Amino acid sequence: MQFLSYLISGISLGSVYALIALGYTMVYGIAKMLNFAHGDIIMIGSYVIFFAFGSFGWNPLVAVLFSMVICTILGVLIERVAYRPLREAPSLAVLITAIGVSYLLQQVAQLLWTSNAKSFTSVVGLQKITLFDGQLIISGETIVTILVCIVIMVFLTLFVNHTVPGHAMLAVSEDRGAAQLMGVNVNATISLTFAIGSALAAVAGALLCSTYPSLSPTTGAMPGIKAFVAAVFGGIGSIPGAFIGGILLGIIENLSKAYISTQLSDAIVFAVLIVVLLVKPTGLLGKKVNVKV
Amino acid sequence: MGEMLSVKNINVFYGSIHAIRDVSFHVDDGEIVTLIGANGAGKTTTMHAISGLLKLQSGEITYCGEIISKMEAHKIIRLGLSQVPEGRRVFSGLTVQQNLMLGAYTRRDGKEAIQNDFDMVYELLPRLKERRGQLAGTLSGGEQQMLAIGRALMCKPKMLLLDEPSMGLSPLLVKEIFKIIRDVNRNGVTVLLVEQNAKMALEIANRAYVLETGTIKMEGDAHELANNIEVRKAYLGC
């Protein structure tokens, strides 16, 4: 029963990673860049909820929606100002810019809200449920996190595979030039990708801080890196890969914490990544890319 | 028959390489014009310059009286200037049907009109109809080329740019593809055809230009060029 409990909270943590990883993987697939500022969008989104819900007492759902709007605007703005001018630049320049944006967001947050951790009030109103005569307790946050992740995954898959803008995204991801020849506006498609990824980051932030209620300017950094690992783990560029990678990572992390060592859990997570990449360099669901010379 | 596409003194650079030097040519309404030349002559560069994928250093391209050389690629196609790129470049992760649907991405004239063009494309290229649910990546080279042509036709173009449609295909398939190009032209679509297979290209074209190391070396009636001694030596191997 203990194991089941660790497993379920692992899936819940993994769902948060999956939501963040979706942002990484979609942006990578379509814009061919690693947006290392993605984790910090989560942090900004969480502060928005902290003030809207915690301080101003808005309805929690409205606060989350508001945070999604702010994060979407922020994500699209960052892409427009920092990344778009570098569209033709070497990928290293873009990568370093992304790291710079990440620090910028953290420092701005620190200036505005100090580096002291704030205690986040959970936005989940659901009561915990008790099963098997009190042997298994599942918190409301855990249930909501898993459900939200599943719903988002289903909608995103339907959107990408069965709508015209979704197909345009797949087309840009596969061959930017050919997509342009079909009349697809590449810049608009990349903006849309950043918008979706950032909105998901806001949701991930709300769920993450509801489960782990301490919010500081560096809150997004570690989950951001872990979600990046999850995306690589599942095969970067692949949406189902991000989902599976995220969930597996959460489970591995939680079980390591429970049965091996709390301090070593992160090391174990990264070790698993190294092993996976040695065995299957493209990740679990990644496609082999043939580079044309 | 008015002038549909006019390319005037264009210069294109790839980094520091001067790939296209002062190239000028034109295509009239209803024609098939071919641009022949060896590997590296600048044919694909010219095509990309027209479709907006590459920027010009200088010169001007006009299409139906509108200057398109400063326009973005995704807007140029909206004017009815569609390209079948070199190497087909179909979207391998999407089905045949979805590829064709993306070809109609710019259209806003309703489901029915688009359905009509699906029927038109499937009639012209019946093999695509058999394979419409199949992923494009699993098609043979010839079928992918047909898909690339079908996809380019789905935007209802007035003019079609074809870049090396015969590349990597068996002689029988090349014949089939050229027949399709001729059919497309008979249906009222103006064609600019870039080819290394000069023999086939000169057979179906009205006029031709010979491109060599980034400049136009010869131009004229396709039939006359096919009988020109220099052209025969250099491009037809006889």
As a whole number of angstroms, the distance between CA A197 and CA B26 comes to: 46
CB contact (8 A) between residue B74 and residue A183: yes
Q: Residue A292: is its pLDDT beyond 60?
A: no
Q: Looking at the complex, does the CB of residue B91 fall below 8 Å from at least one CB of chain A? A: yes
Q: Is residue B57 part of a domain?
A: yes
Q: Residue A290: is its pLDDT beyond 90?
A: no
What pLDDT is recorded for position B230? 83
Q: pLDDT class for A284, splitting at 50, 70, 90?
A: confident
Surface of A (251-290) touching B: CB under 8 A: none
Q: Which chain A residue has the Cα nearest residue B53?
A: A177
Q: Is residue B197 part of a domain?
A: yes
Average pLDDT of A2-8? Answer: 90
Residue A192 DSSP SS3? helix
List chain A residues with CB under 8 Å of B93: 170, 174
Q: Are strands B3-14 and B215-221 parallel, antiparallel or unpaired?
A: unpaired
> The tokens of A175 are what?
């061959």
Q: Can you state the percent helix, strand and coil of chain B, rounding each to 5?
A: 40, 30, 30
CA distances in angstroms from A157 to A22, A76, A161, B153, listed in the order given: 11, 22, 6, 29
- Residue B31: which domain range? 3-89+158-236
Q: Which chain A residue has the Cα nearest residue B102?
A: A182
List chain B residues with CB under 8 Å of A170: 91, 93-94
Q: Are strands B207-212 and B215-221 parallel, antiparallel or unpaired?
A: antiparallel
Question: Mind listing the pLDDT tens digit for each residue in A101-127?
Answer: 999 999 999 999 998 888 888 888 777
Strand partners, B40: none
Question: Mind listing the pLDDT tens digit for each residue in A13-71?
Answer: 999 999 999 999 999 999 989 999 999 999 999 999 999 998 888 899 999 999 999 99
Q: Is residue B175 part of a domain?
A: yes
C-alpha count within 13 angstroms, C-beta hemisphere, residue B172 = 1
Q: Residue A233: is its pLDDT beyond 80?
A: yes
Question: Where would I find the H helices in chain B?
Answer: 43-51, 73-76, 96-103, 111-124, 126-130, 141-153, 171-186, 198-204, 222-227, 229-231
The enclosing domain of B40 has a CATH number of 3.40.50.300
List chain B residues with CB under 8 Å of A181: 51, 53, 73, 77, 82-83, 85, 89, 152
C-alpha count within 13 angstroms, C-beta hemisphere, residue B119 = 6
> The tokens of A236 are what?
């970067």
Exposure of A229 by Cβ count < 10 A (0-12 exposed, 13-18 middle, 19+ buried)?
A: buried
What pLDDT is recorded for position A288? 62
What pLDDT is recorded for position A119? 85
The domain tally of chain B equals 1
> The tokens of B213 are what?
């190391």
Pair A16, A220: CB distance under 8 Å: no
Q: Is residue B114 part of a domain?
A: no
Q: Is residue B133 part of a domain?
A: no
List chain B residues with CB under 8 Å of A171: 91, 94, 102
Question: Mind listing the pLDDT tens digit for each residue in A165-221?
Answer: 999 999 999 999 999 999 999 999 999 999 999 999 999 999 999 989 899 999 999
Best of A84, A162, A181 to disrupt the B interface (most B CBs within 10 Å) is A181
Q: Is residue B229 part of a domain?
A: yes
Question: Mind listing the pLDDT tens digit for each residue in B195-232?
Answer: 988 999 999 999 999 999 999 999 999 999 988 888 88
Q: Looking at the complex, does the CB of residue A90 fall below 8 Å from at least one CB of chain B? A: no
Q: Which chain A residue has the Cα nearest residue B84?
A: A181
A22: closest CA of chain B, how far (Å): 19
As a whole number of angstroms, the distance between CA A179 and CA A181 comes to: 5
Percent of chain B with pLDDT over 90: 80
Question: Mind listing the pLDDT tens digit for each residue in A246-275?
Answer: 999 999 999 999 999 888 888 998 898 889
What pLDDT is recorded for position B73? 93
Positions of chain B with pLDDT lower than 70, given as ranges = 1, 238
Q: Which chain A residue has the Cα nearest residue B148?
A: A178
What pLDDT is recorded for position B47? 94
Q: Is residue B49 part of a domain?
A: yes
CB contact (8 A) between residue B89 and residue A167: no
Q: Is residue B131 part of a domain?
A: no
What pLDDT is recorded for position A97? 96
What pLDDT is recorded for position A291? 52
The ipTM assigned to this model is 0.89
CB contact (8 A) between residue A183 and residue B106: yes
Q: Looking at the complex, does the CB of residue B64 fall below 8 Å from at least one CB of chain A? A: no
Average pLDDT of A129-156? Answer: 89
